[in-house]
Amino acid sequence: MRMSKLFWKFFTVFWLALLLAGLSVGTVVWLHHKSIQEQANKTDPEIDVDAHAFVSVAAEIFSYGGKTALITFLEKAHHAPFPDVYAIDDKGNDVLGRSIDPKVVGYARALFLQGEFPLAIRYVSDKENNALLFFSPIKRGVSETLFIGPPHERREFGPAPMLNEPFPTPPFETRRIPPPPSETVPYPLVLLIGSGLIAAIFFSALLAWYFTKPIGLLRQSFSKLAEGQLNTRIGNKMGHRRDELVELGQNFDDMAGKISHLMSAQQRLLHDVSHELRSPLARMQAAIGIAEQQPEKTPEILNRIERESQRMSDLVGELLVLSRLETGVTDNVHVEISLNDLLDEIISDARFEASSKQITIHYTIAEDIFITVRSELIHRAIENILRNAIKFSPENAEITLRVTTDSIKQRLCIVIEDNGPGVAEADIESIFKPFFRGQLTHRNDSIGLGLAIAYRAVSAHHGEIKAANRQEGGLRVEVELPYKK
């Protein structure tokens, strides 16, 4: 698979971050190690640097125990196979009275002033502020010339100054000893740097691939979805990740599922609309043909054409209402209305329609109820349910409408029951879909949009509508709406 630009961006950033972090840590460790090695390998021709442990012991004994304890320690150490540690006062004399070349003493003081060998050359005071210089000279004769300075730049000096005197500027020429040969980078260090670079490249590529793989899958899935492959899903291709990219994949699957559902519903709707429009058009064409063949039936044919055109007009109107509800585009605004007045108006019209079939409508409401709704939508929803009950109820039947409230749940429930044939249990969930008529498809006066419009009108108010068959026969439809007193 071709690497994307995002992959190379991730790779470059991760690689540079790892490289800089590795170089920084490696440089600090290397410098520290080098400093330790230099201190460990540093020697002097006149001072025994390796005797720093004995020098430190003697200095601590003098600092806490005083001169008497120091003399006792040095006398015992002098007869033991240990390096000789000298304790020199400001006058240049050893506390044990041992002889020592003044040049060696001056040399040690000069090194101390320069900060050389801080562990091997100590200048310590006791509790009485008596100060001594501690060091261990190499057991051999010292040359007549003192060399002060770094190993590659020794400078000749005469008698060494006291610690409380300024260090003199040498009046002589400087002898330069050739610097040590330049150190080459050891082979293990080269191996370490090379392996670090390889590891940085590997892990940077791994991280970049880890982050860009799901993004690439998403891009491919979007392309397939755009090409019309509505069954495209990506959730099962994300592996066992648990991050935001997985959530993004799940959101894509949800989106693809909804798009597929909407497209299927749209195709079904177009099919149903075309079928519903084809039937009245076919009847109108047939009526026109009859009118041409039998002119004496023209008035009757015109009445037939008028009914069919009205049916088509009603169908188009219902479709427009349904479309606006599905898209959320409505002109109604929420207003506070009296539910009692709304139901009185709806039932008055319904009773006029039901009188032709001698159907009685019983209406019960407990109290005056005021609700804030889109009045036209709720009016249409309840009217459609009630007219549906009248349409499918037999003659001399009874229809009941009652209203209850629940102040605890803050819900209002409108129940409409009829004595019609009911609905097959398998079709209960489908009666709120557009153009669904179930076992009643033989009835040509039913469009199949009334309950679908009622369902979407109630849903637009965050309510709920459900249907169930009654044990004594007929259908029970409940509409629940939010309600606050």
Cα–Cα distance for residue pair 386/389, rounded to 1 Å: 5
pLDDT digits (tens, 9 = 90+) for 186-236: 556 667 667 767 777 777 777 777 777 777 778 888 888 888 888 888 777
Contact 434, 449 (CB under 8 A): yes
According to the 3-state scheme, what is the secondary structure of 287-305? HHHHHHHCHHHHHHHHHHH
Q: Phi and psi at residue 403, in whole multiples of 5°?
A: -125, 130
The candidate with the shortest Cα–Cα distance to 87, out of 46, 50, 132, is 132
Encode pLDDT of 232-271 as tens digits: 887 777 766 676 777 777 788 888 888 887 777 677 767 7
Q: For residues 434 and 374, state if they share a domain.
A: yes
Among candidates 317, 336, 431, 402, which has minimal Cα distance to 375?
336
- Going by C-beta distance under 8 Å and a sequence separation of 6 or more, which residues neighbour residue 21? none
Q: Is this prediction's pTM over 0.75?
A: no
Query: Shortest CA distance to 360 belongs to which of 419, 291, 277?
Result: 419
Q: What is the pLDDT along the chain (485 residues), one digit of tens a residue?
A: 445 565 666 677 777 777 777 777 777 777 777 766 666 566 677 888 888 888 999 999 999 888 889 899 988 888 777 888 999 998 889 998 888 888 889 988 988 888 888 888 999 998 888 899 999 998 754 433 444 444 444 444 444 444 444 444 444 343 343 444 444 545 566 676 677 677 777 777 777 777 777 777 788 888 888 888 888 887 777 766 676 777 777 788 888 888 887 777 677 767 767 766 777 788 788 888 888 888 888 888 888 888 888 878 877 877 777 777 766 666 667 888 899 999 999 999 899 888 889 999 998 876 788 898 888 888 888 998 998 899 888 999 999 999 988 888 888 999 999 988 888 888 888 888 877 766 544 454 566 778 888 888 898 888 999 999 998 888 999 999 998 87
384, 365 contact by CB (below 8 A): no
Give the model confidence (pLDDT) of 58-72 as tens digits.
999 999 888 889 899
* Domain interval for residue 308: 230-329
The burial class, CB within 10 Å (0-12 / 13-18 / 19+), for 453 is buried
Is 291 among the domain residues? yes
Q: What is the domain-level CATH number for residue 308?
A: 1.10.287.130
Task: Name the residue type at position 136.
Answer: S
Residue 161 inside a domain? The answer is no
- Which of 318, 314, 370 shows the shortest CA–CA distance to 343? 370
Residues 399 and 373 in one domain: yes
What is the rounded distance in angstroms from the CA atom of residue 224 to the CA atom of residue 107? 86
Closest CA to 58 of 67, 46, 49, 48: 67
Residue 150 inside a domain? The answer is no
402 phi/psi in degrees, rounded to 5:
-140, 155
Structural domains in the chain (count):
4
User: Looking at the domain assignment, is residue 449 inside a domain?
Assistant: yes
Of 176, 46, 41, nearest in space to 111 by CA: 46
Q: 195 and 99, same structural domain?
A: no
Interatomic CA distance for residues 456 and 318, integer angstroms? 12
Among 329, 352, 369, identify where a domain stops. 329
Among 329, 347, 371, the domain-final residue is: 329
Q: What is the pLDDT of residues 310-349, one digit of tens each?
A: 878 877 877 777 777 766 666 667 888 899 999 999 999 8
Res 362: pLDDT: 92
Looking at every residue in the chain, the average pLDDT score rounds to 78
The domain that holds 437 is classified in CATH as 3.30.565.10
Residue that is last in its domain, among 149, 172, 207: 207
CA distance 47 to 153: 17
Residue 172 domain flag: no
Burial of 287 (0-12, 13-18, 19+ CB in 10 A): buried
Token reading at 286: 């047939």
Do 313 and 343 fall into the same domain?
no
19 assigned to some structural domain:
yes
Q: Are residues 268 and 358 located together in one domain of the fold?
A: no
- Nearby residues of 266 by Cβ (< 8 Å), 6 or more positions away: none
Residue 215 domain flag: no
Q: Closest Cα to residue 134, out of 162, 109, 116, 159?
A: 109
My answer on whether 310 and 436 are in the same domain is: no
- Token look-up 């670090």 returns 196
Q: What's 104's domain CATH number?
A: 3.30.450
**Are 365 and 467 contained in the same domain?**
yes
- Structural contact between residues 306 and 285, judged by C-beta atoms closer than 8 angstroms: no
* 313 in any annotated domain: yes
57 and 36 both lie in a single domain: no
Do residue 346 and residue 476 come from a single domain? yes
Residues 55, 18 share a domain: no
Instruction: Assess whether 339 and 464 both reside in one domain.
Output: yes
SS3 for the chain is CCCCHHHHHHHHHHHHHHHHHHHHHHHHHHHHHHHHHHHHHCCCCCECHHHHHHHHHHHHHHHHHHHHHHHHHHHHHHCCCCCCCEEECCCCCECCCCCCCHHHHHHHHHHHHHCCCCCCCEEEECCCCCEEEEECECCCCCCCCEEECCCCCCEEECCCCCCCCCCCCCCCCCCCCCCCCCCCCCHHHHHHHHHHHHHHHHHHHHHHHHHHHHHHHHHHHHHHHHCCCCCCCCHHHCCCCCCHHHHHHHHHHHHHHHHHHHHHHHHHHHHHHHHHHHHHHHHHHHHHHHHHHCHHHHHHHHHHHHHHHHHHHHHHHHHHHHHHHHHCCCCCCCEEEEHHHHHHHHHHHHHHHHHHHCCEEEEEECCCCEEEECHHHHHHHHHHHHHHHHHCCCCCCEEEEEEEEECCCCEEEEEEECCCCCCCHHHHHHCCCCCCCHHHCCCCCCCCCHHHHHHHHHHCCCCEEEEEECCCCCEEEEEEEECCC
Same domain, 124 and 98: yes
